[in-house]
A and B are shown apart, each in its own frame.
Chain A
Amino acid sequence: MAALRRRGDPRAARRARDRLTPVRDDFGAPRWRRYLRFWGPDVDADVDDELQFHLDMRARELEARGLSSDDARRAAALRFGDAGRIGAELREHDHHRNRYLHRRDMLSDLWQDFRLAARGLQRTPGFAIVVIATLALCIGANSAIFSVVNAVLLRPLPFRDPGALVRVYQTYQGERSAFSGPNFVDLVKSTHTLASAAAFDNETFNVVGNGDPVRVQGALASASFFDVLGAQPAVGRTFNADENDPGKTHVVVLSHALWQQRFGSNRAAIGGSLDLDGTPYTIIGVMPASFDYPRGMSVWMPLVYDTSFTVASRGAVYLSAVARLAPGVSEQQAATEVAIIGKRLHDADLDHNAKMGITAVSMREAMVGNVRKPLVILLGAVVFVLLIACANIANLLLARSSTRHTEIAVRSALGAARGRLLRQLLTESVLLSLAGGALGLLLATWGVRLLVVLQPRGIPRLDTVSIDGAVMAWTALVAVATGIIFGIAPALQLSRGGDELAQSLRAGGRGMLPSMGGRQLRRTLIVSEIALALVLLTCAGLMMRSFVRLQSVDPGFQPDHRLALEIAIPDATYGTNEKVVAFYDDLLGRLAALPGARGVGAISMLPLTDNAWGFSFKVDGRPPVRLGDQQHFETRAVSPDLYRVLGIPVKRGRALLPTDRDGAPPVAVINEAAAHRYFPSEDPIGKRVVLGFRVRDTTHAAGTIVGIVGDVHGFGLDQDAPPEIDFPYAQLPLSNMAIVMRTDASAPALAAAAKRELNAIDPALPMADVRSLSGLVSDSISQPRFYMMLLGLFAAIALLLAAIGVAGMMSFAVAQRTREIGIRIALGANRGGVVRLVLHEAMRLAVIGVVIGGLVAVALSRAMASLLFGVGVRDPATFSVAAIVLAGVAFAATLLPARRAASVDPATALRTD
């Protein structure tokens, strides 16, 4: 066995001295491991040392008895036994024990740190309360917004294998439109990437029987609808494969809510009959309460796949489509394939399929794609607010550090390792942030309830928002991260100074550390804070400006003091034009006579209700337009008084009159948008227009234009008014109309009276819901309002935090430099100069922060482009105002500390040590 004697290694030399013979000293562990002892006990080397010691002592004893050194060594080794195996056994045991002890120590250290931290915070309750309150607010806001993001964007969709579901759209000029029956049928026949597909449409129905008549939303769908979604019924069954065939379609699946309300959750309802718009349908099943697709449906019925559906009406687009991808197929592949099919269909029938295409997007994208960006922006905003709070708290801790120098110095002098100190200081921070996080979670539960109450229209899945495990995990993560973020810099600084402080203590000083490094850090924090605050202010300002612009768009009608009552009369009882006209004549007459009604009108479709009803048209005297190039009119049936009641101005010609009835010449009124677009170089008045549909298969929608009225933003305040044509309902009797009533009396009273009149005419008609038109307009912009309010709230919080931060930091800076200020004053500087000095320093930081923030805001605001209306992402007015406001707030926040600086008494200041 060769000796491992290291030349020049003093330990080896010593060992060689002690050993009577050079000895191998590796029992498996290499020598260099010794040097790892710097980081803690080195188990392997210790085992080696212990066994080696024993062998050497034994060898020495045997030599003393007369053996030669070689023999002694050999005998000692022999006597010992298999040292290698024993060494390995000991090493394993010791490692195991070490790990156990280490864990136990860490836990007990951690517990001790927590108790120490808690005691320390108890001593300064004001500080703790301020920090915890700030953190609760900011972490709570984070949790609330995250719970919305979680519910809307992250949670899996409530379908079987939702990742394989796609929505398929027929497009028109690249924009998502709707399918026609024949196109959908052809798609299903040709596709290989879609394993199954279903089309669906929704309509409203009157339900009669088993309760008061009521209007419900119902879906008409392909037989495969529920299979595509993977939805199982709670009771009974869903559609059979043949139930789209004509003659077999009078079956219906109920929603859970409808089953509960009208059948008392009685299983015997299956097989019974449900009267929808006068036609009986057989109830075949009930869906579970959790199934809600499409949203708000009470019943599902099969589409009728007659020849009109499958072949004839290729140009009539109204169907939505959902499909399941074939196994192994990606969304991309499906989208490519359906685009090719779309092109083929387009080329095969240029008349009906002009400008059409087909596209597919994942179900998730279709459902939540349009709210992803604003929600992510909101989440980013709350994170910014939290970071600003962290900067404030870090500054607070840094200021507090100066009072803890003595404590740290003493502990360091007593032997506390720097790592230990650091850990203990961080524990304080994390304890604060965990407390803040717990309280914040509580605040978030209230906040979430508030958000759901606000219920902005158009954000899907908002009713499933809740504080669940994911949100709690996020909150815990954010709390710990926050504690580390704001605690790390002060803790590092304080613990680094430990040794120096200890030395200075021993040398008789009081353990004060010059705050040079601290000052730089504090300045950086303030500048970052101000930059973040500016970004938030700018984005909030842009949203606000955009919303104000949106809100001030003239909808084209007067919404105030107007109510709307939506009526649908079933074909079964009102099957002829005369009956429909008579009904509405009667109703309008009665309602007009009500006290409090200052005008009553009717329109077939209210504006701003996400409804469209467009048809192609022909103008007499114009050459026939190719089917594919045809344009469309939004089509309405109105009562003569409607324009007056809604406050829509008549621009030219005349409005409709009561004399425009059946028998009189057919007339029509168009809006300005239509006049500009379709009659750019001629006078529309006098022209006859024929639309491409018929009412009750008898009456063409046609008329001579007699007037032009003002535009109404029917599709949204942020969109252009569509070209619209209105016919008198007496000449175009549609079954579904909305009655508009103008009132200056109490709205609920009038509504109740109106419902009574309706009931008097026909008790079988469901009680329609009454809506106010001003509510309608307000609802149409509820989503932008929601984002604006939240962003505004966060920006306000950020501004407040930044103000507090600046004020706090300047106060502290003034207190730190009291001596210097005292000298200046003593040497003759005037008070005003001192104030200017302080203000100058603060504003310098503020300006740097504003500039940096401005640059960041310019880069980030581009993300908001799709959310803004009428405002550019670099709108200079908004940026300037935000910068000025922030600088002004920083200025105001510095005034008090500046005044305090000016009132420093030089005598007292100089006496301070």
Chain B
Amino acid sequence: MRSDTGDLLQGTLGVMILKALVIGPAHGYAIARWVEQTTDDVLQIEEGSLYPALRRLEDRGWVRSEWGLSENNRRARFYTLTARGRAHLKTEAAVWLRYAGAVTRVLRAAPAIA
């Protein structure tokens, strides 16, 4: 992310990548574009952390990769969500949403910020 990164955001990056792959297999660039488009360019994944993050996900067995042809016939590495990754995503997403919801409630509670 363009703002400060931290452990929380590192985990967040992982969750977002997994969510991006729910649709189907995608290469690294497609994942980055999806996040940008879905958040209307609010979040732009720092590409330096994208690929290391993908590797970590693969090490944990949540994602697997294979080489294939991109839409313009170029050789690219495609990442796919595994069953274990899908399960992990479900739990993590629930946790994050509950957390985010709680923070939102705190920040929206009276009194309003001036």
Contacts and interface: CB of A to CB of B under 8 A. Distances in A.
Interface stretch (B3-11, B72-80, B105-113): B72-80
B51 A86 contact: yes
A49 B75 contact: yes
B68 to A, nearest CB: 11
A18 B28 contact: no
A33 interface: no
A97 B74 contact: no
A53 B48 contact: no
Contacts of B48: 80-82, 86
B27 interface: yes
Nearest to A89: B52
A58 interface: yes
A53 B52 contact: no
Given A18-B74, A46-B77, A81-B46, A57 B29 contact: yes
Contacts of B73: 18
Contact of A80 (B33, B47, B75): B47
Nearest to A53: B76
Contacts of B51: 50-51, 54, 86, 90
A93 B57 CA distance: 12
Contact of B76 (A50, A93, A97): A50
A31 interface: no
Interface residues of A, number: 21
Given A53-B27, A86-B51, A97 B77 contact: no
A155 interface: no
B47 A81 contact: yes
Given A90-B55, A93-B55, A54 B47 contact: yes
Nearest to A80: B47
Interface in A852-869: none
Contacts of A97: 59
A18 B72 contact: yes
Contacts of B55: 90, 93-94
Nearest to A82: B48
- B33, B48, B70, most chain A CB atoms within 10 A: B48
B59 A53 contact: no
Contacts of A57: 29
B47 A53 contact: no
Interface string A40-58: 0000001001110110111
Contacts, number: 51
Interface string B15-58: 00000000000011100110000000000001110011001000
A46 B55 CA distance: 13
Contacts of B72: 18
A696 interface: no
Nearest to B65: A50
Contacts of B70: 53
A79 interface: yes
Nearest to B73: A18
B98 to A, nearest CB: 32
Contacts of A93: 52, 55
A105 B28 CA distance: 27
A50 B28 contact: yes
Interface string B65-92: 0010010111111000000000000000
B76 to A, nearest CB: 5
Interface in A534-563: none
Contacts of A80: 47-48
Nearest to B51: A90
Contacts of A79: 47
A306 to B, nearest CB: 86
Contacts of A61: 33
In this complex, the member of A51, A53, A82 whose beta carbon has the largest number of chain B beta carbons within 10 angstroms is A53
A50 B47 CA distance: 12
Contact of A50 (B32, B46, B77): B77
Interface string A66-87: 0000000000000111100010
A86 B28 CA distance: 14
A56 B28 CA distance: 12
A49 B27 CA distance: 12
A53 B74 contact: yes
A46 B52 CA distance: 14
Contacts of B29: 53-54, 57-58
Interface string A370-382: 0000000000000
Contacts of A46: 67, 77
A53 B47 CA distance: 13
Contacts of A54: 27-29, 32, 47, 51
B52 A86 contact: yes
A90 B58 CA distance: 12
Contacts of A50: 27-28, 51, 76-77
A624 B67 CA distance: 107
B31 to A, nearest CB: 10
Given A86-B51, A93-B55, A53 B46 contact: no
A439 B73 CA distance: 60
B94 to A, nearest CB: 30
Contacts of A18: 72-74
A51 B27 CA distance: 11
A86 B33 CA distance: 19
A97 B52 CA distance: 13
A281 to B, nearest CB: 79
Nearest to B52: A89
A54 B51 CA distance: 10
Interface string A93-113: 110010000000000000000
A61 B77 CA distance: 19
Contacts of B32: 54
A88 to B, nearest CB: 11
A81 B73 CA distance: 26
By Cβ-Cβ distance, the 4 closest A-B pairs, closest first, are: A81-B48, A57-B29, A80-B47, A54-B29
Interface of A: 18, 46, 49-51, 53-54, 56-58, 61, 79-82, 86, 89-90, 93-94, 97
Given A54-B32, A54-B51, 18 more contacts: A18-B72, A50-B28, A50-B77, A51-B51, A53-B27, A53-B76, A53-B77, A54-B27, A56-B74, A58-B29, A61-B33, A79-B47, A80-B48, A81-B47, A82-B48, A86-B51, A93-B52, A94-B55
Interface of B: 27-29, 32-33, 46-48, 51-52, 55, 59, 67, 70, 72-77
13 contacts: A46-B77, A53-B27, A53-B29, A53-B75, A54-B27, A54-B28, A57-B29, A58-B29, A80-B47, A81-B46, A89-B52, A94-B55, A97-B59
